[in-house]
Each structure stands twice: as structure tokens, then as C-alpha cells.
Amino acid sequence: MDFKQKVVELLKPELDLPVEKIAALIERPKNDSMGDYAFPAFILAKQLKKNPAMIASELAPKLQDEAFSKVEAVGPYVNFFINHEMLVADTLKTVLTEKGDYGQVHASLGNVPIDMSSPNIAKPMSMGHLRSTVIGNSLSKIYAKVGYKPIKINYLGDYGTQFGKLIVAYKKWGNEDDVKKDPINNLFKYYVRFHQEAEENPELDDEGRLWFKKLEEGDPEATELWQWFRSVSLEEFKRIYDELGVTFDSYNGEAFFNDKMDPVIQELKDKHLLTESRGAQVVELGEDENPALIVKSDGTSIYLTRDLAAAEWRMNEYNFKKILYVVGNEQAEHFKQLKKVLKKMGHDWADDIYHVPFGLITQGGKKLSTRKGNVVFLDQVLKEAVSLAKEQIETKNPSLANKDQVAHDVGVGAVIFHDLKNDRLDNFDFDLAEVVRFEGDTGPYVQYTNARAQSILRKVGDVTSDSLALSDEWAFSVAKEISYFPQVVEKAAERFEPSVIAKYALSLAKKFNKYYANVRILDEDDQLGARIALVKAVSIVLTEALDLLGVKAPSEM
């Protein structure tokens, strides 16, 4: 039941106002002693030429209803107190009927492509790419829940002049076996060496340019090498995606858009937006803004131009309602320019482009550097998290059946949850032992709470009850939290903020643990069925919340 709606219905016959107006007037008192909803009667004072307290006390008796245990006038307000038993019964019934569908918006609101992860070929995946992967994946689930169709796009950095350099470096210092053994680290090593040697020996740069030109012209050797670098890198990235349980709907990266830029440049020309500036072609964006660089003075196109082509292509292909770019905050200027140029081209849908930035992960307060090979670092972090989780399981539940699978779900889940529990723009420090703790604000704590609920359910078997009313305050606080879930998901979607879900999962887990500590759930009395229904509902919602974060919910741990 929608209790706020009920308040509106009760007030309607008494007021000469449209329902939307009434709904907008209803407040949520800060203090529980003032009830769950309040109607500010002073709004009517002028119209009725009466004192507000008087209006409130005349209204209150006419608004009595079984949905509210008390409706009373306090000063100029009418306060409504929700009938607790009714809220509990109502909420549990809804969740047990809808199950995993609870909170699902049944609508087709349209496509939402999510540009996420997008690491660069032949370079280690950074912690930034990891954050983008995990945040993007969660947002895709949240958007599906509120009625959109998400499309996860991995816009691989697989094109650019650096590939000419890499080909030269590989031909000079590389060998096939090393690349096969440890592709990204070795390719990256050649690339770094290229830059070092090019400082002494600038002809190397000319060679790099030459090979890039060959690549652009479709030279077979250049193309074959490039394809090979791309595929071995991708294999390595995919290993990490598998660990994290993340899949993509498209791997159309920068290379895919390489032959789609000319029409965009032509369009810019036709619309008289391109101007020349020191040999380069730019779009002027106004006095206080840097011009957007479209074609460099040497004729090569750049990152922004490819993103323009990609945005147009995606609009044609997906006819999106919104498009999200989950990319670090340091690219804010780039996405601002992308939107502005598209807007100048007359594309109103530029307003539906959202850059979803995020903060840095530090370790011991220091920024992590790509040079140190973070893909290894990341692999290692996940492995260590899994083994720490395994240790904890060994001490807590040594007889558990599928320990390795559970340790994987807990360890990896801990890393993901830790990434998502803070507001995405906050920087945070990474301390592995902290991440995988079973207590405190961690993923394992939520998973453990859910497993505890499921173990209760296994113990009692199938108990059902017609009445789901429970009158204790702990049950009420759990059920009330559960009743917020649909609006919590909406809020997370609106703000592009998975942390809203993570914080909610922690809060529900805490409330359930209080319930568990204060109520004898398994007592054989006539409310056993209702208490079991509450445990079921908690488990359904915790499992669903974890799923929205991309975290598994083992039934035992």
C-alpha cells in the first residue's frame, strides 16, 4: 500500500485542491514523534480566514482511517502515524508475491548505452578502468530495473599513432614468445623503451609515423600485427571481466569509428563550424572556452573527433534516451566539449549525454601508477581477496561444501562492494584487509547477513501464514526499510550512483541483524509464519540489492 497516497485520498474530499497539489504539500516530519506524514494546515489559513491550529484540529477527526494508527492535530499540522502492523503485512505480501521482480519498473523507457571500462590496447588496465567497469556494470543493472534497456559498450582504445610506434618497437626489440607469455606487460615494455630511445634518436619517431601510415592504408603486415596486439590484449582484459562477472554488448572501440570520421568533419564544414587555427581545424566554443580540436595540423584526427563519430553512430544505431560515459573525472573537459560541439551541430540529443565521473583509488594515500603494471596489480588484488575470504570461511564454517566458489564470490564481491559503497566522486584508499572483513560496512557483511537469513529458512522448511502482521518495533523497522527499496533504486538511477544501493543494503542488513538479536524468530507460536515471511523478504531484497551492484549472494558462507 502507498501510505502517502492514502493521506492524499483522505484529504481530497476535505480540500478544494487538485490531488497533485495535495501530494506536493505533504511533508515527512524529521522527528518520529511527529508521525510519518504531516499536512501543514496553515496553507489554508488565508483561504479559510481561520487560525491554522483551528483548521488542523477540525480536519483531524475527519481523516481517521485504519491505515493510520493515529491522526492528530499538533499546532498548525495534522500528523499521520502509519499503522505499523499494516505496513509490515502489506510490504511482506508484496515482496513475497513479486520476489526478485520487487521494485522492477515494468515499462520500456528506451535504450541507454553505457560507455564503460574502455581500456587501451597493449597497456595495463588502470584502477580507473576497473572503477569504470564496476560502476558501469552496476548502472546497467540499475537502469534495467527502472525500465530502460542498457547497452554495455567497451570503447576500446585500439587506435592511434601509438600503434605505429608499437609496431616499430616490437619489430626491433620484441619476440613472439614473450608476447604470448605475458602480452600486455611485454608490449608495454617495448612501448616505454621506444619513448626512451626516441629521445636520443628522433628518427624512430619518423619510423613510427611511417608504420602508422601503413596501418591506416591497410598494409597487411601492419594490420596483422595490430590485430594480434589487439586480440592478445583483449584476451587478458577478458580474464579480468570474467573474474568480475562483467560482460559487454559491444566492443566497438576507437578503430571501429576510424572510417566514420570523414562524414562528421564534412558535416562540421557544411554547418560552417570549422575554423582554422595555426594549421589545425577547430570548433570555437565561445570566449571563455578552449576551442575544440578536430583535425590536427599534420592532418591526423583525434580522440574528440572519434567520439563525435561514435556519438552520432550510437544515436543512429540505438536511438538512445540517455547515454552514459563512465570515465574518470580528469576527462571532464573532453566530455564538455563533446556535448558542446554536438549541440552546435544542432543535435538536441546532446543534452541526453551524461559524463559519469568518479574519483581516484589511492594506496597508502598515493596515486597508483600505470607504469607499475596495474593489470597485474588488479589480478593480484582479486586473488588475494579470494584467499583472505577463504581463510575467514575456514575459521567460521570449515565444513562448508563449495568453499572455493564461495570464497571467490565473497572475495571478488568484497572488492566490488568496496568500490561502490562510497559516493563515486570520492577518492578512496585501498586496504585489502579492510575490504574483506566480515564485519563493518563491507560486502561480506551483507552477504553474511543474507546467508544467515537463508540458513534460518533452511532450518524451518516451508512455513506459511495467512496473517503477515507483526507488531514489534524491530519488524517494523525492517519492513519499513524494505518498503523503501523501489524508491532507492529510482534514486540510484537518477543520480547515476550505485552507492545509494550499497548504503541501502548495509542499512537493511543492520536492521535485520537487530531483529535477529532481539526476536526469537523460530519460536513455535502463531506468528512464526509471519516472522519467516519477514526473513524471506529480507533475503529476497538483499540478494536483489547485491545483484544490482554486480555482487553474488551465496546462500551459505
Task: Please report, as ranges, the residues that interact with ligand ARG according to CB under 6 A.
Answer: 115, 118, 120, 155, 157, 307, 325, 327
Nearest distance in Å: CB 549, ligand ARG: 22
State in angstroms the smallest separation of the CB of 180 from ligand ARG: 24
Nearer of residues 118 and 513 to ligand ARG, judged by Cβ: 118
Comparison of 308 and 549: residue with beta carbon closer to ligand ARG: 308
d(CA 118, CA 248): 11
Supply the minimum distance, in Å, between the C-beta of residue 115 and ligand ARG: 5
Beta carbon nearer to ligand ARG, 64 or 369: 369
Tally of CA atoms within 13 A in the half-sphere of 132 that contains its CB: 28
Cα(307)–Cα(335) distance, integer angstroms: 9
Contacts 24+ apart (CB under 8 A), 330-337: 331/355, 331/357, 332/357, 333/290, 334/303, 334/304, 334/307, 337/285, 337/290, 337/292, 337/304
Positive or negative torsion for Cα 123, 126, 130, 131: negative
Smallest distance from ligand ARG to CB 95, Å: 38
Nearer to ligand ARG, 130 or 416 (CB): 130
Nearest-angstrom CA–CA distance, 550 and 531: 29
Residue 508 grid cell = 537493511
- Using CA atoms, how far apart are residues 354 and 424, in angstroms rounded to an integer? 14
**Residue number, nearest CB to ligand ARG:** 157
Q: d(Cα 102, Cα 454) in Å, to the nearest integer?
A: 18
Residue 362 dihedral angles phi and psi, to the nearest 5°: -115, 165
Distance CA 152, CA 250 (A): 7
Q: Supply the minimum distance, in Å, between the C-beta of residue 119 and ligand ARG.
A: 6
CA dist., res. 362 & res. 368, Å (int): 6
Q: Are 373 and 339 in contact (CB under 8 A)?
A: no
Q: What is the DSSP letter of 290?
A: P
CB nearer ligand ARG, residue 115 or residue 236: 115
Shortest distance (Å) from residue 374 CB to ligand ARG: 12
The residues that bridge with 250 in the sheet, in sequence order, are 153
List alpha helices for 72-154, DSSP H: 84-98, 127-145
Q: Which is nearer to ligand ARG, 374 or 450 (CB)?
A: 374
CB of 157 vs ligand ARG, minimal distance in Å: 3
Query: 106 vs 372, which CB is nearer to ligand ARG?
Result: 372
- The residue among 486, 463, 445 whose CA lies nearest residue 534 is 463
Q: Which is nearer to ligand ARG, 110 or 328 (CB)?
A: 328
Considering just the CA atoms, what is the radius of gyration of the chain in Å?
29
178 contacts 188 by C-beta, under 8 angstroms:
no
Q: In what order do the strands lie in the sheet with 428-429?
A: 366-367, 361-363, 428-429
| Nearest approach, Cβ of residue 327 and ligand ARG (Å) | 4
Are 95 and 540 in contact, with CB atoms under 8 Å apart? yes
Q: Which is nearer to ligand ARG, 315 or 534 (CB)?
A: 315
Residue number with CB closer to ligand ARG (6 or 306)? 306
| Distances from the Cα of 351 to the Cα of 108, 338, 495, angstroms | 21, 11, 16
The nearest distance, CB 231 to ligand ARG, in angstroms, is 17
- Would you give the DSSP letter of residue 526? T
Closest distance to ligand ARG from the beta carbon of 367 (Å): 15
Of 118 and 454, the one with the shorter C-beta distance to ligand ARG is 118
Please, what is the minimum distance in Å from the beta carbon of residue 474 to ligand ARG?
A: 47
